[in-house]
Amino acid sequence: MLENDFFIEVKSFISGLYKDKLAVQVVFHNIDHTMQVVEAANEIAIAENISESDIEILLIAAWFHDVGFVVDYKNHEEESKKIATEYLIEKGFSKEIIAKVCSCIDATKMPQAPKNILEKILCDADLFHLGSDNFSKRTSLLRSEREELYNKQMTDVEWLEDNQQFFASHKYFTDYAYQKLNEQKTANWLKIQKDLQKISLKKEEQDLKDKLRLEEVNRKKIKDNRPDRGIETMYRVTLKNHLKLSDIADTKANILLSVSAIILSIALSTLFPKLDKPDNYYLIYPTLFFLLTTLTTMIFSILSTRPNVTSGKFTKEDVKNKKVNLLFFGNFHKMTFNDFEEGMLDVMDDRDYLYKSLMKDLYFLGLVLDKKYKILRTAYTIFMIGIIISVVSFVIAFLLMQKSGAIV
């Protein structure tokens, strides 16, 4: 029957529509699929002992069931019925036959719900590929078509899950299709489940890797954004500079102290023995002022270098309340080791407490430097002015002594 003149005409008509009007995106519901459905419908109909008149209705429906894709892929069944009706009316078919053809086309709409043997055969023929060896190839074309027509990309997991659900709800309606195709259909279904399990596991592994990678990126980003390294560098450099300034101040104080001590020892060994002579009474006041200047300078130099240690008495409550800076030895030198260890662990566990302790250390070191340099500046000023006044005093005393000797 497939080779009679009428069906040759039908084939030519359908092929022409697909060739001229079918969108290039429709790679599954094309002439190849239609011809496969026609052949499958004919095979099932013969096996089910369908009459020739019914086979004719069935094959007409098979040829036209997807031709509506050339007009509207979303409502292709309705368009297919319109095209089939117009064609069959033109060929002189009765309304009864046309109605049966349209009813068969309607039955292929998902979910399938055939009501008679012709509709059941066409539904089984339409999904004949589910139980065939080339299922993977056919279903890949269907996926590509859906993604192109609906402009929606599907992941492998989504596609396999969709296929799995479809297989779970599908069944062949005719005995012939069930007996011939169900075994391969089950094998195809198992392969889908196996692929889904494999891809799902791979996806889970990839998701875990992506999550760990994202966490690592975020951790690095947070670490980069946190100014810990910059803060530590700032404290390290600043504290180092302060300690260097403190060393410079101590060195200057030691120099001034050494010079003053040398001057004092020379004065005591050379000037003082001459003051008991009546002729040298003019040297008494310059010498005393000179010695006072030297002594005062030494006192201020000592004050600038004299250490000042705090009480070092703090309780655990003071540490917990963050009232003490354990980074300075003067605050913990009288604490027990256990209390100090517990307090230091609290400091290391609390980032804010640690930075505040460093801040306090830096601040009070600055106050100590300020006091040290002020005292040292005073000592240098006293020494400079005292030396000048002492020298001038000695010059004046020497001139007065010469004048007094000339008068006598």
Give the model confidence (pLDDT) of 56-108 as tens digits: 999 999 999 999 999 998 889 999 999 999 999 999 999 999 999 999 999 99
**What is the distance between the alpha carbons of residues 295 and 257, in angstroms, rounded to a whole number?**
9
pLDDT at 274 over 70: no
Q: Examine the domain organization and report whether 283 and 206 are in the same domain.
A: no
Q: Examine the domain organization and report whether 192 and 141 are in the same domain.
A: yes
Cβ-in-10-Å burial (0-12, 13-18, 19+) of 301 comes to buried
**What is the distance between the alpha carbons of residues 231 and 97, in angstroms, rounded to a whole number?**
89
Query: Residue 328 falls within a domain, yes or no?
Result: yes
- Report residue 359 CA to chain centroid gap: 32
pLDDT at 18 over 70: yes
Q: Examine the domain organization and report whether 201 and 93 are in the same domain.
A: yes
Q: Examine the domain organization and report whether 32 and 80 are in the same domain.
A: yes
Q: Examine the domain organization and report whether 296 and 390 are in the same domain.
A: yes
Domain with 312, as residue range(s), is 228-407
CB 379 within 8 A of CB 300: yes
Query: Residue 218 falls within a domain, yes or no?
Result: no
DSSP3 helix / strand / coil % (the chain, rounded to 5): 80, 0, 20
Q: Examine the domain organization and report whether 35 and 122 are in the same domain.
A: yes
Choose the weakest-confidence range: 96-105, 112-121, 244-253, 330-339. 330-339
Query: Residue 223 falls within a domain, yes or no?
Result: no
Number of alpha carbons in the 13 Å side-chain half-sphere of residue 24: 0
Structure tokens at 39: 């052949």
Query: Residue 222 falls within a domain, yes or no?
Result: no
The percent of residues above 90 in pLDDT, for the chain, comes to 40
CATH code: domain of residue 137: 1.10.3210.10
Q: Examine the domain organization and report whether 80 and 177 are in the same domain.
A: yes
- Report residue 153 CA to chain centroid gap: 26
Structure tokens at 114: 């055939």
Residues 6+ apart with CB under 8 A from 162: 154
CB 2 within 8 A of CB 59: yes
CB 383 within 8 A of CB 297: yes
Residues 6+ apart with CB under 8 A from 401: 279, 280, 282
Q: Examine the domain organization and report whether 337 and 380 are in the same domain.
A: yes
**What is the distance between the alpha carbons of residues 62 and 120, in angstroms, rounded to a whole number?**
12
The structural domain count of the chain equals 2
What is the pLDDT at residue 332? 62
Q: Examine the domain organization and report whether 34 and 122 are in the same domain.
A: yes
CB 369 within 8 A of CB 249: yes
What is the pLDDT at residue 271? 65
Q: Examine the domain organization and report whether 177 and 109 are in the same domain.
A: yes
Q: Examine the domain organization and report whether 203 and 334 are in the same domain.
A: no
- Report residue 132 CA to chain centroid gap: 47
- pTM value? 0.55
Q: Examine the domain organization and report whether 141 and 236 are in the same domain.
A: no
**SS3 assignment, position 227:** coil
Last residue within a domain, chosen from 180, 213, 246? 213
